[in-house]
Amino acid sequence: MSVGSLYQYFPNKAAILFRLQSDEWRRTSELLRSILADGTKPPLARLRALVHAFIRSECEEAAIRTALSDAAPLYRDAPEAHDARAAGEGIVAAFMREALPKASDATRNLAGELITTTLSEVGKRFSETPHGEAEIARHADGLADMFCAYLGELARRRIQS
């Protein structure tokens, strides 16, 4: 497609990048929902699957992320950005209620925030350099082990108190 044809659909580069970012937010929300809401699997298995899918996705999307990050100030506060964050938070909150049913809301909220922030930052940094499939799997396994141990410890503490 020629650049001229592209600008028939988008008024400028910022609009193109915003559309790409909106599509990425939608895909991430769908990924979260499809894995974390799958009640046929135990919560920790879903968390492990999410970590693997997310890290792989971050590695696959590393090149486009640079362009999107450069344009982030243009759309960071857009209503679509707020909606995407709220959707993700809702999906994670529902998962945490299921994974930690006896924990307090504050504990579940903190756990969800720590996991999503860590996953996002580690995924971003890890994907800044190319990695083979085996290395991606090892990295995701380590991160998933850490998250599963954390949730297991939170569940154990709550039962004892």
Per-residue pLDDT of the chain (161 residues; tens, 9 = 90+): 676 777 777 877 777 777 787 787 788 888 889 999 999 999 999 999 999 999 999 998 887 776 677 666 666 677 777 777 787 788 999 999 999 999 999 999 999 999 999 999 999 899 999 999 999 999 999 999 999 999 999 999 865 44
**Which position has the token pair 């083979």?**
132
Q: Residue 39, SS3?
A: coil
The pLDDT score that the predictor gives to residue 113 is 96
How many Cβ atoms are within 10 Å of 108's Cβ, its own excluded? 21
Nearest to 33 by CA among 20, 46, 19: 46
The pLDDT score that the predictor gives to residue 126 is 95
How many Cβ atoms are within 10 Å of 31's Cβ, its own excluded? 16
The pLDDT score that the predictor gives to residue 161 is 46
pTM of full prediction above 0.85: no
The pLDDT score that the predictor gives to residue 70 is 67
Positive or negative CA dihedral for 39, 45, 47, 49? negative
Residues with Cβ within 8 Å of residue 64, at least 6 apart in sequence: 20, 24
Give the span between the Cα atoms of 62 and 3, in whole angstroms: 23
Classify burial at 76, counting beta carbons within 10 Å of its beta carbon; exposed 0-12, middle 13-18, buried 19 or more.
exposed
